[in-house]
Structure 1
Amino acid sequence: MGALIGEIIALSLMALALGMDAFSVALGMGLLRLRLRQIFYIGVTIGLFHIVMPLIGMLVGRLLSREFGSIATYAGGVLLLWLGAQMIMASFQREDGSQLFPHGAGLLFFAFSVSLDSFSVGLSLGIFGARTMVTILLFGLFSTVLTWLGLFVGRHFQQWLGSYSEALGGSILLAFGLKLLFS
């Protein structure tokens, strides 16, 4: 039971880290003064992508784990380190606001681009053997809620947290990458 609680806490922190990327981008998108219905659909769409992308990544990661064993675990750790570093660097290089209009194909492309990092994390978690259902539900829930929060904060306070939230998310992924490599 203690191991399950520990895994849920670790997965929740990872979900928070991935959701921070969606939050920071949603802050800029919130400047568009979206209607509540649009905010709802944007959050749900991003949440669904944060379920599908890590699920695909986990399935591929499990296949790699069976084929390549411990080498795949180290590769997963390196992947998380790389992704965390990328998020931190991007947090300091990003331009203000989002240029995508959040409906139709623009929303799908936006949700896909924001959830690409969750595929990579899912790949690492699949290699590590994390619980699939718990992982994807937490990832979807956190990204949906953080997207809604980012849209609302952006709508009311404009550029409040911005790049700091993405840097925090990258730091969390770096920590988990180190844990995979050295545990």
Structure 2
Amino acid sequence: MGNFSFIDELVTLSLMASALGLDAFSVGLGMGIMNLRLRQIFKIGLVIGIFHVVMPLLGMLIGFAVSDTFGRVAVIVGGTLILGIGFHMMYTTLFSKEKNKFSPSGIGLLLFAFSVSADSFSVGIGLGMFGARTGLTILLFGLISTIMTWAGLILGRKVEQQFGKFGELLGGTFLLFFGLKLLFFSKL
């Protein structure tokens, strides 16, 4: 990143990765309300971590020319997916006699991971323009988002155990607000 020393770049990229990881933590908190098993939590964290490696790497490779158009499309798709999951959780909790059927597995997990990591694509484009160290960037983004996702999912699981149906409503509401934030308050 320009004339930054390795330590300066490490600190800067760690702060950026933590900011992006907060999104993963927040969405994980809402998703953890679904009373996921520890094996599912582990898998979800890994997949989100992988997406937080792939998305900024793609962004860094694509560069500045398409950042305004493609970056915004990724955020819109991600925000819409998270809104849909939040609405589904709330509707199922309030109006259905069945347990919430959304499960972050298979294609659902991939769409979920994409939606959480969409903003890291745009950040990757910017970092690519500034010449950030690619290996360091994707390592930090992947590692920090994985850990923060696990923390959010585990904390959400504890909330569900304590609050039951109210916890599922809270999780759905949290996902709704995060989806709205992506759609209407992104800086793209």
TM above 0.5, yes or no, is: yes
Q: Partner amino acid for 1:6? A: D
Question: Which amino acid in the other structure matches residue 8 of structure 1?
Answer: L
Given candidates 42, 48, 73, the residue that maps to 1:46 is 48
Q: Larger radius of gyration, structure 1 or 2?
A: 2
Alignment partners' CA distance in 2, 1:23 and 1:141:
13
Provide the rounded CA distance (Å) in 2 between the counterparts of 1:127 and 1:53: 15
Superposition CA RMSD, Å:
3.6
Letter in 2 for 1:23: F
2:11 to 9, 24, 29: 9
Distance 1:119 1:13, change over 3 A: same
1:12-23 maps to which residues of 2 (within 5 A)?
12-23=14-25
Per the TM alignment, residue 3 of structure 1 is displaced from its structure 2 partner at its CA by 1.2
1:108 maps to which residue? Answer: 110
Q: Specify whether residues 51 and 29 from structure 1 end up closer, same or farther in structure 2 by C-alpha distance, changes over 3 A only.
A: same
Deviation at 1:157, TM superposition (A): 2.5
Distance across 2 between alignment mates of 1:29 and 1:143: 15
Of 120, 123, 132, 2:134 maps to 132
Other-structure match for 1:69: none
> What is residue 67 of structure 1 aligned with on the other side?
none
Unaligned runs of 5+ in 2: 90-101, 161-166
Q: Residues 97, 35 of structure 1: CA spacing in aligned structure 2 closer, same or farther, 3 A cutoff?
A: farther
The sequence identity of aligned pairs, in percent, is: 55
Counterpart of 1:27 (choices 7, 29, 33) is 29
Taking the TM superposition and a 5 Å limit, the aligned residue runs for 1:84-163 are 99=89, 100-158=102-160
Superposed CA deviations along residues 110-135 of structure 1, whole A, max 9, x for unmatched, are: 00111110100000100111000000
1:59 and 2:61 correspond: yes
Flag structure 1 segments of 5+ consecutive residues without an equivalent.
Answer: 65-71, 88-92, 178-183
Tell me, what secondary structure is at the counterpart of 1:129?
coil
- TM-score computed with the length of structure 2 as normaliser: 0.66
Change (3 A) 1:131 1:108: same
